[in-house]
């Protein structure tokens, strides 16, 4: 594995892999084959689990800002991202909505799991030019975070969706029990001894492609810009909600507790709507930065005079938590003598 000294270094070209693209190039432009190749340039590019760069504060080291993971998009985005990052460092907040680049969009359990990072990054690269359908689901990095009723949901035909590393209920197919199978890299390493590219953990073995993947087939049935095959199932669920008693699994949401003598002062400091005034009342409110920009929107419930319960969206909960933690750190009074306890 190359170290820091490898910056801007190059690799020897893997001709076996490159030939897959070269053959097509020769077909489209025969003159290239006749002319020959004088030299090659083969260097590494940086990719992320969702194919988007990392721009903004790193949540695990205060004061560290990232601007990396662009792969070939760095040449296109450098100017605008550089200006945005400079403003961010100076003011403490981004001036535009670039959540899709924010490093805090990933859950800690995911990015600290090497297999999750490798598998999801491979899939995002493999689907670079795939049509982006609104109801597609990843096959890599599944079952990282699960609710207490995860298996019960599967036993009852639930087709789960991956969001922020969490397996949340999507819709039900009562006639089948289906869950994502271990990631097979879409058969890219099915040939004998081809998995060496994935590192020593695979011991140069092959990774066979699944002969049958029921979950993938069900998801493929929804790959449409029209109503997918699950539409009638979802319609039945909606009608059941209207005419019967139903249970919603909201384990996916982020939940935070803010307690202590300065808890109410802190809530009033960060929440535009202020703290709920009565016990057991809930307020839906944005959290705003110094420029009046919205950093989050969530609910806050007063559990006691000095205790508040925050519920944030599942997709943004990691970022929301880090923003709250950073907001508390701005005023020393919140960090003194257990004035504020956040968990």
238-259 average pLDDT score: 92
Reply yes or no on whether the pLDDT at 3 is more than 70. no
Count of beta carbons in the 10 Å neighbourhood of residue 268: 12
The H-or-E segment that residue 44 falls in is none
74-82 average pLDDT score: 90
Reply yes or no on whether the pLDDT at 278 is more than 90. yes
DSSP code for 271:
B
The H-or-E segment that residue 217 falls in is helix 214-220
Give tens-digit pLDDT for 9-20: 888 888 888 888
pLDDT for the residue 336: 65
Tokens of 240: 């059941």
Residue 232's pLDDT band (boundaries 50, 70, 90)?
very high
Burial of 49 (0-12, 13-18, 19+ CB in 10 A): buried
Residue position matching structure tokens 């009723």:
149
CA distance 122 to 195: 13
What region does 143 belong to: left with phi over 0, alpha with psi -120 to 50, or beta?
left
Give the DSSP letter string of 78-147: HHHHHHHHHHHHHHSS-SS--GGG-GGGS-HHHHT-HHHHHHHHHHHHHTTTS---TT---SSS-SSB--
pLDDT for the residue 335: 67
pLDDT for the residue 303: 96
List the one residue out of 117, 160, 166 whose CA is nearest residue 146: 166
Give tens-digit pLDDT for 162-209: 999 999 999 999 888 889 999 999 999 998 888 888 877 777 688 999
Burial of 18 (0-12, 13-18, 19+ CB in 10 A): middle
pLDDT for the residue 240: 93
Give tens-digit pLDDT for 81-122: 999 999 999 988 888 899 999 999 999 999 999 999 999 999
pLDDT for the residue 174: 84
* 25 close to 32: Cβ distance less than 8 angstroms: yes
pLDDT for the residue 338: 67
pLDDT for the residue 75: 82
pLDDT for the residue 159: 95
pLDDT for the residue 134: 94
300-315 average pLDDT score: 94
Residue position matching structure tokens 């939940």:
255
More confident residue, 240 or 329: 240
Residues 6+ apart with CB under 8 A from 42: 10, 11, 12, 13, 14
Q: What are phi and psi of 305, to 5 degrees?
A: -60, -30
* For the chain, percent of residues with pLDDT exceeding 70: 97
CA distance 287 to 155: 39
pLDDT for the residue 88: 93
Taking the whole predicted model, whether its pTM rises above 0.75 is answered as yes
Tokens of 291: 């420029």
* For the chain, percent of residues with pLDDT exceeding 90: 66
CA distance 226 to 218: 16
Residue position matching structure tokens 């403003």:
87
Burial of 270 (0-12, 13-18, 19+ CB in 10 A): buried
From residue 246, how far is each of 43, 233, 243, 249, 254 by CA, in Å?
A: 54, 15, 9, 10, 22
Q: What mean pLDDT, rounded, does the chain reach? A: 90
CA distance 163 to 230: 19
The angle that helices 317-329 and 263-270 make with each other, rounded to 10 degrees, is 110
Distance of CA 161 to the CA centre of its chain: 12
- Least confident among 56-60, 172-176, 253-257: 172-176
- Beta pairing class for 54-57 and 307-312: unpaired
Residue position matching structure tokens 């493999």:
126
Reply yes or no on whether the pLDDT at 1 is more than 90. no
pLDDT for the residue 6: 78
248-256 average pLDDT score: 92
pLDDT for the residue 33: 87
Give tens-digit pLDDT for 205-225: 889 999 999 999 999 999 999
């Amino acid at each position: 594995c190359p170290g820091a000294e490898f910056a801007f270094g190059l690799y020897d070209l893997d001709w076996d892999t490159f030939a897959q693209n070269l053959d097509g190039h020769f077909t489209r432009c025969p003159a290239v084959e006749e002319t020959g190749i004088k030299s090659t340039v083969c260097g590494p590019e940086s990719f992320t689990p969702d194919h988007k760069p990392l721009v903004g504060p790193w949540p695990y080291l205060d004061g560290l800002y990232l601007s990396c993971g662009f792969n070939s998009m760095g040449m296109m985005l450098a100017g605008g991202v550089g200006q945005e990052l400079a403003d961010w460092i100076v003011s403490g907040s981004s001036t535009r909505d670039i959540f899709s680049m924010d490093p805090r969009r990933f859950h800690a359990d995911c990015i600290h799991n090497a297999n999750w990072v490798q598998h999801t990054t491979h899939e995002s690269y493999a689907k670079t030019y795939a049509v982006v359908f609104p109801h597609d689901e990843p096959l890599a990095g599944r079952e990282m975070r699960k609710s207490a009723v995860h298996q019960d949901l599967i036993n009852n035909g639930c087709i789960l969706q991956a969001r922020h590393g969490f397996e949340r209920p999507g819709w039900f197919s009562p006639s089948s029990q289906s869950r994502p199978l271990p990631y097979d890299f879409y058969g890219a390493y099915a040939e004998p001894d081809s998995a060496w590219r994935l590192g020593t953990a695979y011991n140069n073995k092959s990774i066979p492609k699944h002969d049958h993947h029921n979950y993938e087939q069900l998801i493929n049935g929804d790959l449409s810009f029209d109503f997918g095959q699950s539409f009638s199932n979802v319609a039945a669920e909606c009608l059941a909600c209207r005419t019967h008693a139903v249970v919603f699994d909201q384990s996916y949401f982020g939940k935070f507790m803010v307690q202590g003598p300065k808890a109410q002062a802190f809530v009033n400091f960060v929440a535009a709507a202020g703290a709920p005034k009565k016990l057991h009342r809930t307020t839906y409110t944005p959290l705003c930065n110094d420029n009046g920009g919205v950093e989050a929107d969530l609910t806050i419930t007063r559990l006691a005079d000095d205790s508040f319960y925050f519920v944030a969206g599942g997709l943004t909960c990691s970022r929301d938590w880090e923003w709250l933690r950073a907001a508390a750190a701005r005023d020393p009074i919140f960090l003194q003598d257990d004035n504020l306890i956040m968990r």
